[in-house]
């Protein structure tokens, strides 16, 4: 995204399962919000870790023909709303195939669903963690009834930690808010881990001292929030102490947010990972879709 929110091409990662329309519904909303001539590309990947044996090829080709018919139906529905579309079916390694498609198509934003497995990372979790592109992850109760032409974003929650990735996330959140005429709330969570470490260091602290220490952390964060926003009062801000990912999701429910916007690494205390641990945790339990800004 060269400009703050100029989106020329959106890639919708779909598996033609029950969540397909939800993903396309948010892609359609984003296309109307992000740019005038935005195109939605649909990609269905038949995920193979190894090259399939020859005897499976006829079955794969049959599957492709059926999937092609389904993709055309969705394309026609989007076209009827004046949205340009393209679609493709590919077989291969999931991450490599999407990376290639993102580069070859010149994609600005990825829209995908979210599923979790108890034992191993799901396909969506692998993509979220590995693909280096801004993405809108469609999940949560808020997306439950989403249908093409029926997505409305009335309130956006932007989670920040005052880092450079957070600055980028805030710019995108402001742009989305302006273009969709939605309310914007900015939140910062002071990690309760930081507070607890202080209590461990000074084990003889009285309850009053603990309360004063917590209030001081909040006060400092509120002052930093004012500086971060550059102007106080124009944008609603919420500063709290808590487990970061859980508190962000709690605030999103309290404020009835329709979308959470956050930086990919800006909310993580862990360095050297592709996606911050807090970002991943927010996505796994968010009550609404989450946009990850890179």
Domains of the chain: 1-140 (3.40.50.620), 153-294 (3.40.50.620)
For residue 118, the model assigns a pLDDT of: 64
Q: What is the mean pLDDT of residues 210-223?
A: 88
- As a whole number of angstroms, the distance between CA 26 and CA 40 comes to 11
As to burial, measured by CB atoms within 10 angstroms (0-12 exposed, 13-18 middle, 19+ buried), residue 63 is middle
Number of H helices, E strands in the chain: 9, 10
User: Which candidate, 287, 275, 258, places its Cα nearest to that of 124?
Assistant: 275
Mean per-residue pLDDT of the chain: 88
Residue 256, φ and ψ in degrees, nearest 5: 55, 45
Provide the percentage of residues in the chain whose pLDDT is more than 90: 63
- As a whole number of angstroms, the distance between CA 139 and CA 150 comes to 16
For residue 256, the model assigns a pLDDT of: 97
For residue 209, the model assigns a pLDDT of: 83
Coil/strand/helix, residue 15: coil
pLDDT at 248 over 90: yes
For residue 151, the model assigns a pLDDT of: 95
Q: What is the mean pLDDT of residues 12-29?
A: 96
Q: Which residues of 241-258 are buried (b: 16+ CB within 10 A; e: fewer)?
A: bbebbebbbbbbeebebb
pLDDT at 121 over 60: yes
For residue 186, the model assigns a pLDDT of: 97
Cα distances (Å, whole numbers) of residue 22 to 46, 76, 118, 178: 20, 16, 23, 23
Q: Which residues of 188-214 are buried (b: 16+ CB within 10 A; e: fewer)?
A: bbbbbeebeeeeeeeeeeeeeeeeeeb
pLDDT at 267 over 50: no
Which DSSP string do the residues of 142-206 spell out, in sequence order?
A: GGTT--TT-----EEEEE--SSHHHHHHHHHHHHHHHHHT-EEEEEEEEEHHHHHHHHHHTTT--
Q: Which residue has the higher pLDDT, 162 or 231?
A: 162
Coil/strand/helix, residue 233: coil
Residue 192, φ and ψ in degrees, nearest 5: -65, -20
Say which range, 27-36, 216-225, 243-252, has the weakest mean pLDDT. Answer: 27-36
Contact 174, 236 (CB under 8 A): no
User: CA Rg, the chain, in Å?
Assistant: 21
Q: Which residue has the higher pLDDT, 6 or 40?
A: 40
In this structure, the strands spanning 135-138 and 290-293 are antiparallel
Helix (H) / strand (E) containing 111: strand 109-113
pLDDT at 42 over 90: yes
Q: Which residue has the higher pLDDT, 233 or 84?
A: 84
Contact 218, 239 (CB under 8 A): yes
pLDDT at 140 over 90: yes
Model confidence, pTM: 0.90
Residues 153-200 pLDDT 10s: 999 999 999 998 899 999 999 999 999 999 999 999 998 887 777 777
Across the strands, what pairs with 88? 43
- As a whole number of angstroms, the distance between CA 278 and CA 276 comes to 5
Q: Which residue has the higher pLDDT, 122 or 198?
A: 122
Tokens of residue 227, six digits: 């500086």
pLDDT at 230 over 90: no
pLDDT at 38 over 90: no
């Amino acid at each position: 995204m060269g400009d703050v929110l100029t989106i020329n091409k959106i890639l919708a990662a779909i598996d033609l399962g029950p969540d397909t329309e939800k993903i396309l519904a948010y892609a359609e909303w984003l296309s109307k919000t992000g740019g005038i001539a935005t195109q939605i590309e649909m990609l269905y990947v038949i995920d193979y870790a190894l090259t399939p044996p020859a005897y499976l090829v006829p079955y794969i080709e049959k599957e492709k023909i059926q999937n092609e018919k389904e993709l055309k139906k969705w394309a026609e529905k989007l076209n009827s709303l004046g949205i340009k579309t393209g679609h493709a079916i590919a077989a291969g390694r999931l991450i490599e195939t999407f990376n290639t498609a993102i580069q070859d198509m010149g994609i600005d934003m990825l829209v995908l669903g979210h599923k979790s497995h108890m034992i191993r990372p799901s396909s969506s979790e692998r993509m979220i963690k590995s693909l280096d592109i801004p993405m809108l992850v469609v999940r949560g109760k808020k997306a439950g009834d989403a249908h093409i032409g029926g997505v409305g974003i009335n309130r956006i929650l932007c989670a920040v930690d005052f880092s450079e990735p957070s600055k980028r996330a805030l710019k995108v959140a402001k742009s989305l808010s302006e273009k969709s005429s939605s309310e914007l709330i900015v939140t910062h969570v002071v990690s309760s881990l930081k507070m607890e470490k202080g209590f461990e260091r000074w084990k003889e602290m009285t309850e009053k001292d603990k309360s004063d220490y917590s209030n001081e952390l909040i006060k400092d964060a509120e002052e930093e929030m004012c500086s971060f926003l550059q102007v106080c009062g124009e944008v609603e801000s919420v500063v709290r102490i808590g487990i970061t990912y859980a508190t962000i999701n709690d605030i999103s429910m309290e404020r009835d947010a329709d979308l959470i916007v956050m930086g990919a690494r800006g909310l993580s205390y862990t360095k050297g990972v592709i996606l911050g641990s807090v970002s991943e945790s927010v996505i796994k339990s968010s009550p609404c879709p989450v946009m990850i800004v890179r």
